[in-house]
């Protein structure tokens, strides 16, 4: 027997799987999904060409892994369902992880797992903002309802209220951050987590708040 081990010896694949920090999920579902992906992949031309090329070209091996990520993993509904079963929050991060991995592979960067926060100060800020948003929730809600007095407050979606509350908390209590930066960031968040009409509503309320700050009304 002389099995072709080129795929399991793929340098890019080994760089990904060799990291000790990766959490191993011992679940038959993910094993079945992996087998399904492998089965489909074996039918592709690029896999066949890679396995039968004369030289073990690392660049072609890298291209193979990139194509697997793009065509077999990121769009795989079974993977999405599996991730959601483990945590409803992970799907939000899937595209970020995918794009980060693509960038690192393309640029031959170290595939070590990134820290959750780039700087310690970022983590501190995130916790302080969350705590302050909860602590001042009633106060900030009253400001929002005053700004939205022409709207029925019971019809304001809870997700929209939270986005506006955190934005106003940031502008009100973290004064080292320019208001425009805060405004732009939370408008981007609303694009991701709110409806198109909600996005416009949030934009209007936050824009009015920043103008009222400048006029010292709030």
Whole-model pTM above 0.85? no
Quick one: CA dihedral 130, 133, 136, 137, positive or negative? negative
pLDDT confidence bin for 20, thresholds 50/70/90: low
Q: Distance between CA atoms of 186 and 97, rounded to whole angstroms?
A: 21
Q: What's the chain's average pLDDT? A: 84
pLDDT at residue 19, as a whole number: 63
Phi-psi label, residue 68: left if phi above 0, alpha if psi -120 to 50, beta otherwise = alpha
When pLDDT is cut at 50, 70 and 90, the band that residue 192 belongs to is confident
In this structure, are residues 102 and 66 in contact, taking their beta carbons and an 8 Å threshold? yes
Q: What is the pLDDT of residues 133-188, one digit of tens each?
A: 999 999 999 999 999 998 888 889 999 999 999 999 999 999 999 999 999 999 99
What's the residue count for the chain?
Answer: 218
Residue-range domains of the chain with CATH: 11-106 (no CATH), 120-214 (1.10.940.10)
30-34, 39-43, 46-50, 87-91 — which is least confidently predicted? 87-91
């Amino acid at each position: 027997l002389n099995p072709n081990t080129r795929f399991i010896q793929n340098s890019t694949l080994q760089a990904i799987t060799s990291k000790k920090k990766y959490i191993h999920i011992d679940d038959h579902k993910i094993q079945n999904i992996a087998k399904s992906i492998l089965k489909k992949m074996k039918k592709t031309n690029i896999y066949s060409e890679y396995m039968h090329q004369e030289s073990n070209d690392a660049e072609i091996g890298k291209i193979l892994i990139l194509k697997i990520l793009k065509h077999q993993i990121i769009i795989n509904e079974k993977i999405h369902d599996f991730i959601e079963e483990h945590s409803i929050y992970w799907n939000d991060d899937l595209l970020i992880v995918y794009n980060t991995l693509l960038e690192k592979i393309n640029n031959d960067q170290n595939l070590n797992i990134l820290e959750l926060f780039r700087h310690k100060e970022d983590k501190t800020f995130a916790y302080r903002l969350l705590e302050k948003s909860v602590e001042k929730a009633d106060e900030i809600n009253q400001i929002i309802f005053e700004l939205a007095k022409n709207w029925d407050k019971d019809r304001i979606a809870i997700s929209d209220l939270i986005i506006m509350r955190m934005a106003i908390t940031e502008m009100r209590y973290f004064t080292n951050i320019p208001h425009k930066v805060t405004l732009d960031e939370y408008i981007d968040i609303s694009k991701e987590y709110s409806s198109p009409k909600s996005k416009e509503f949030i934009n209007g309320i936050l824009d009015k708040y920043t103008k009222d700050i400048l006029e010292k009304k709030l």
